[in-house]
Amino acid sequence: MLRAIGGQHQLITMLVNGGADAVVTSILEVDDASNTVVIDCAPSALLNQRIIQSDDLAFEASLDKVRILFSVAKADTAIHENRPALRIPIPANLIRLQRREYYRVNTPVINPILCRIPLPADAGGGIYTTPLVDISCGGIAILDDKKVLDTTIGREYENCHIDLPGLGIVTVTLQIRNSQELTLFNGKTNRRLGCQFVDLSKAMLAAVQRYIMHLERERNAKITGLG
């Protein structure tokens, strides 16, 4: 399973010291001989030092749309193909979390789907445009790279517009359900917000369902070589 995650170049979120730091990494090699896994290091020496000193490292990945969770007690420095890396023990256990109330699908990275969120006057007003990470019939995940949105759980944003290609504009109320700070490979930070649809109309729900089916058809066509 770890080799499959690495082979598919899936990004992994590493939480350090109970989530005090979050780093985006990937699996470079699974070494049976030493019973270890080599992963990308963090973008800064200070963050790498905190990782090495930590005795609580938790990881979350995705494999074929199934969440994979595992944890290890420590990490050490390593060299992989003449580049700095980190080495962790092969975890004793992995947890697969497949059940969701709604099926969730990743949205395109190139030509991303955009969500336009009206900001209240106390946040400067205007419209804040941000890309989607994924979408389901229950909500979306977005990137708040400018960190202007209120991350309070339960905070609602009304009259948000999501432009679905070929299907038009979907108007939704978004409720903040979770927030995660990410450190990217280039050293920059980003914020990922999980948002739930509130009282989504049947017409808007139908449009979201059609778009999810469209994304799945495109994905299946690429896998079979027909796309």
User: Cα 190 vs. chain centroid, distance in angstroms?
Assistant: 11
Same-domain status, 72 and 125: no
Looking at 37, 66, 97, the residue that finishes a domain is: 97
Looking at 97, 112, 132, the residue that finishes a domain is: 97
Same-domain status, 214 and 195: yes
Using one digit for the tens of pLDDT, what is the confidence trace for 101-151? Answer: 567 788 888 889 999 999 988 877 899 999 999 999 899 999 998 999 999
With 60 as the cut, is the pLDDT of residue 188 above it? yes
Domain housing 203: 104-224
Same-domain status, 117 and 218: yes
**CATH at 138:** 2.40.10.220
Cβ atoms within 10 Å, residue 28: 19
Same-domain status, 117 and 63: no
Same-domain status, 10 and 117: no
**CATH at 86:** 2.30.110.10
With 80 as the cut, is the pLDDT of residue 19 above it? no
Instruction: State the total domains in the chain.
Output: 2
- Sorting pLDDT into bands at 50, 70 and 90, what band is 186? confident
Same-domain status, 210 and 143: yes
Same-domain status, 90 and 158: no
Looking at 50, 78, 97, the residue that finishes a domain is: 97
Using one digit for the tens of pLDDT, what is the confidence trace for 57-98? Answer: 999 888 877 888 899 989 999 999 999 999 999 998 888 776
Same-domain status, 68 and 152: no
Instruction: State the pLDDT at residue 94.
Output: 87
Is the whole-model pTM more than 0.85? no
Same-domain status, 44 and 119: no
- Sorting pLDDT into bands at 50, 70 and 90, what band is 226? low
Same-domain status, 62 and 6: yes
